[in-house]
Amino acid sequence: MYFGDIRRQNRVSSAHITVLPGGYGTEPRQVVDFAKDTFLETKAYEWVFALFDRNDHRTYNDALEHAAKLDKSLRNDERHPVRFIAVPSVPCFELWLLLHYVDIHAFWNRLEVFRRLREHIPSYAKGATQIYAHTEGALPDAIRRAQRLQARFSPATGTDPYTNVNEVVTLLRSIRAPMRQRPA
Protein backbone atom coordinates (compact mmCIF):
# COMPACT_ATOMS: atom_id res chain seq x y z
CA MET A 1 0.00 0.00 0.00
CA TYR A 2 2.69 2.50 1.05
CA PHE A 3 4.66 2.27 -2.22
CA GLY A 4 1.50 2.24 -4.31
CA ASP A 5 0.48 5.44 -2.51
CA ILE A 6 3.84 7.02 -3.40
CA ARG A 7 3.39 6.00 -7.03
CA ARG A 8 -0.12 7.44 -7.20
CA GLN A 9 0.61 10.65 -5.29
CA ASN A 10 3.70 11.41 -7.39
CA ARG A 11 1.90 10.40 -10.59
CA VAL A 12 4.45 7.77 -11.48
CA SER A 13 3.06 5.77 -14.36
CA SER A 14 2.55 2.07 -13.83
CA ALA A 15 4.71 1.73 -16.97
CA HIS A 16 7.59 2.98 -14.84
CA ILE A 17 6.99 0.97 -11.69
CA THR A 18 5.06 -2.07 -10.57
CA VAL A 19 4.38 -2.68 -6.88
CA LEU A 20 3.59 -6.29 -6.04
CA PRO A 21 2.97 -8.06 -2.74
CA GLY A 22 5.14 -11.12 -2.21
CA GLY A 23 3.51 -14.01 -3.98
CA TYR A 24 5.44 -16.83 -2.31
CA GLY A 25 5.16 -15.79 1.34
CA THR A 26 6.78 -13.41 3.82
CA GLU A 27 10.05 -15.23 4.55
CA PRO A 28 12.81 -12.99 3.18
CA ARG A 29 14.14 -15.65 0.78
CA GLN A 30 10.60 -16.16 -0.56
CA VAL A 31 10.35 -12.42 -1.20
CA VAL A 32 13.68 -12.38 -3.07
CA ASP A 33 12.73 -15.47 -5.11
CA PHE A 34 9.35 -13.97 -6.01
CA ALA A 35 11.00 -10.70 -7.09
CA LYS A 36 13.51 -12.61 -9.23
CA ASP A 37 10.87 -14.85 -10.82
CA THR A 38 8.58 -11.89 -11.50
CA PHE A 39 11.44 -10.07 -13.20
CA LEU A 40 12.30 -13.14 -15.31
CA GLU A 41 8.72 -13.30 -16.66
CA THR A 42 9.17 -10.05 -18.60
CA LYS A 43 12.75 -8.85 -18.09
CA ALA A 44 11.29 -5.36 -18.50
CA TYR A 45 12.86 -3.66 -15.50
CA GLU A 46 16.08 -1.80 -14.77
CA TRP A 47 15.72 -2.09 -11.00
CA VAL A 48 14.21 -4.80 -8.80
CA PHE A 49 13.68 -4.18 -5.10
CA ALA A 50 12.90 -6.96 -2.66
CA LEU A 51 11.54 -5.46 0.58
CA PHE A 52 11.37 -7.65 3.65
CA ASP A 53 11.39 -7.53 7.43
CA ARG A 54 13.96 -9.15 9.66
CA ASN A 55 11.50 -10.08 12.39
CA ASP A 56 12.50 -13.61 13.40
CA HIS A 57 12.71 -14.99 9.88
CA ARG A 58 15.14 -17.85 9.47
CA THR A 59 15.99 -17.01 5.82
CA TYR A 60 16.97 -13.39 6.47
CA ASN A 61 20.74 -13.74 5.87
CA ASP A 62 20.19 -16.10 2.96
CA ALA A 63 17.94 -13.50 1.33
CA LEU A 64 20.56 -10.75 1.74
CA GLU A 65 23.25 -12.97 0.20
CA HIS A 66 21.05 -14.17 -2.67
CA ALA A 67 19.93 -10.64 -3.56
CA ALA A 68 23.57 -9.50 -3.58
CA LYS A 69 24.43 -12.32 -6.01
CA LEU A 70 21.53 -11.35 -8.28
CA ASP A 71 22.54 -7.68 -8.37
CA LYS A 72 23.86 -6.91 -11.87
CA SER A 73 23.91 -10.62 -12.80
CA LEU A 74 20.44 -10.52 -14.40
CA ARG A 75 19.91 -8.83 -17.77
CA ASN A 76 16.76 -7.05 -18.88
CA ASP A 77 15.12 -7.23 -22.31
CA GLU A 78 17.58 -4.59 -23.56
CA ARG A 79 20.45 -6.79 -22.30
CA HIS A 80 21.48 -4.26 -19.65
CA PRO A 81 22.48 -5.44 -16.17
CA VAL A 82 19.67 -5.07 -13.67
CA ARG A 83 20.10 -3.66 -10.18
CA PHE A 84 18.62 -6.16 -7.75
CA ILE A 85 18.47 -4.54 -4.34
CA ALA A 86 17.51 -6.10 -1.02
CA VAL A 87 15.61 -3.64 1.16
CA PRO A 88 15.64 -5.12 4.64
CA SER A 89 14.12 -3.44 7.67
CA VAL A 90 15.29 -4.52 11.11
CA PRO A 91 13.17 -5.41 12.89
CA CYS A 92 10.33 -4.46 10.52
CA PHE A 93 9.08 -1.93 7.93
CA GLU A 94 7.38 0.05 10.67
CA LEU A 95 10.84 1.16 11.83
CA TRP A 96 10.94 3.30 8.67
CA LEU A 97 7.62 4.89 9.58
CA LEU A 98 8.71 5.50 13.16
CA LEU A 99 11.84 7.28 11.90
CA HIS A 100 9.51 10.03 10.65
CA TYR A 101 8.89 10.93 14.30
CA VAL A 102 11.84 9.91 16.47
CA ASP A 103 15.54 9.13 16.45
CA ILE A 104 16.33 5.50 17.15
CA HIS A 105 19.68 4.48 18.55
CA ALA A 106 19.14 0.90 19.68
CA PHE A 107 17.27 -2.20 18.61
CA TRP A 108 13.62 -2.54 19.59
CA ASN A 109 11.62 -5.65 18.81
CA ARG A 110 8.74 -5.29 16.38
CA LEU A 111 6.09 -5.14 19.10
CA GLU A 112 7.88 -2.16 20.67
CA VAL A 113 8.24 -0.48 17.27
CA PHE A 114 4.49 -0.94 16.67
CA ARG A 115 3.65 0.39 20.14
CA ARG A 116 5.77 3.50 19.64
CA LEU A 117 4.50 4.06 16.10
CA ARG A 118 0.91 3.99 17.38
CA GLU A 119 1.81 6.87 19.70
CA HIS A 120 2.15 8.93 16.51
CA ILE A 121 -0.38 7.15 14.25
CA PRO A 122 -2.96 5.67 16.64
CA SER A 123 -4.94 3.90 13.94
CA TYR A 124 -1.91 2.34 12.23
CA ALA A 125 -2.28 -1.24 10.99
CA LYS A 126 -0.07 -3.18 8.58
CA GLY A 127 -1.23 -2.57 5.02
CA ALA A 128 -3.13 0.61 5.93
CA THR A 129 -3.71 3.12 3.16
CA GLN A 130 -2.79 6.80 3.20
CA ILE A 131 0.23 6.22 5.45
CA TYR A 132 2.52 7.91 2.94
CA ALA A 133 0.29 11.00 2.82
CA HIS A 134 0.17 11.01 6.62
CA THR A 135 3.96 10.85 7.00
CA GLU A 136 5.16 12.74 3.92
CA GLY A 137 5.70 16.02 5.77
CA ALA A 138 8.33 14.39 7.97
CA LEU A 139 10.06 12.58 5.10
CA PRO A 140 13.29 14.65 5.28
CA ASP A 141 13.65 13.72 8.97
CA ALA A 142 13.05 10.04 8.24
CA ILE A 143 15.59 10.01 5.42
CA ARG A 144 18.21 11.70 7.58
CA ARG A 145 17.56 9.30 10.47
CA ALA A 146 17.67 6.24 8.21
CA GLN A 147 20.98 7.42 6.72
CA ARG A 148 22.40 7.73 10.24
CA LEU A 149 21.37 4.15 10.99
CA GLN A 150 22.93 2.98 7.70
CA ALA A 151 26.21 4.72 8.56
CA ARG A 152 26.28 3.19 12.03
CA PHE A 153 24.87 -0.32 11.52
CA SER A 154 24.84 -3.14 8.99
CA PRO A 155 21.78 -5.09 7.92
CA ALA A 156 23.83 -8.29 8.08
CA THR A 157 23.76 -8.55 11.87
CA GLY A 158 19.97 -8.57 11.90
CA THR A 159 20.09 -7.29 15.47
CA ASP A 160 20.72 -3.58 14.91
CA PRO A 161 18.05 -1.07 13.86
CA TYR A 162 18.36 -0.72 10.10
CA THR A 163 16.39 0.19 7.02
CA ASN A 164 17.19 1.37 3.53
CA VAL A 165 13.58 2.04 2.57
CA ASN A 166 14.65 5.67 2.25
CA GLU A 167 16.58 4.79 -0.91
CA VAL A 168 13.51 3.31 -2.60
CA VAL A 169 11.33 6.25 -1.52
CA THR A 170 13.88 8.75 -2.84
CA LEU A 171 14.09 6.91 -6.17
CA LEU A 172 10.30 6.69 -6.52
CA ARG A 173 9.88 10.38 -5.78
CA SER A 174 12.46 11.20 -8.46
CA ILE A 175 10.41 9.45 -11.17
CA ARG A 176 7.62 11.96 -11.44
CA ALA A 177 5.31 12.01 -14.42
CA PRO A 178 5.50 15.22 -16.45
CA MET A 179 2.80 17.72 -15.58
CA ARG A 180 0.16 18.06 -18.25
CA GLN A 181 -0.27 21.52 -19.69
CA ARG A 182 -3.78 22.86 -19.28
CA PRO A 183 -5.27 24.64 -22.27
CA ALA A 184 -5.38 28.42 -21.86
Phi and psi at 48, nearest 5°, equal -130, 125
User: For position 181, what pLDDT does the model report?
Assistant: 44
User: For position 13, what pLDDT does the model report?
Assistant: 65
Whole-number Cα distances in Å, 46 to 78, 84, 165: 9, 9, 18
What are the residues whose beta carbons fall under 8 Å from the beta carbon of 27, sequence distance 6 or more?
A: 57, 58, 59, 63
Residues of the chain falling short of pLDDT 50: 15, 179-184
User: For position 129, what pLDDT does the model report?
Assistant: 86
What are the residues whose beta carbons fall under 8 Å from the beta carbon of 145, sequence distance 6 or more?
A: 99, 103, 104
User: For position 16, what pLDDT does the model report?
Assistant: 53
User: For position 180, what pLDDT does the model report?
Assistant: 43
User: For position 58, what pLDDT does the model report?
Assistant: 93
All structural domains of the chain with their residue ranges: 2-174
The pLDDT tens digits for 17-32 are: 666 767 898 899 999 9
User: For position 133, what pLDDT does the model report?
Assistant: 92
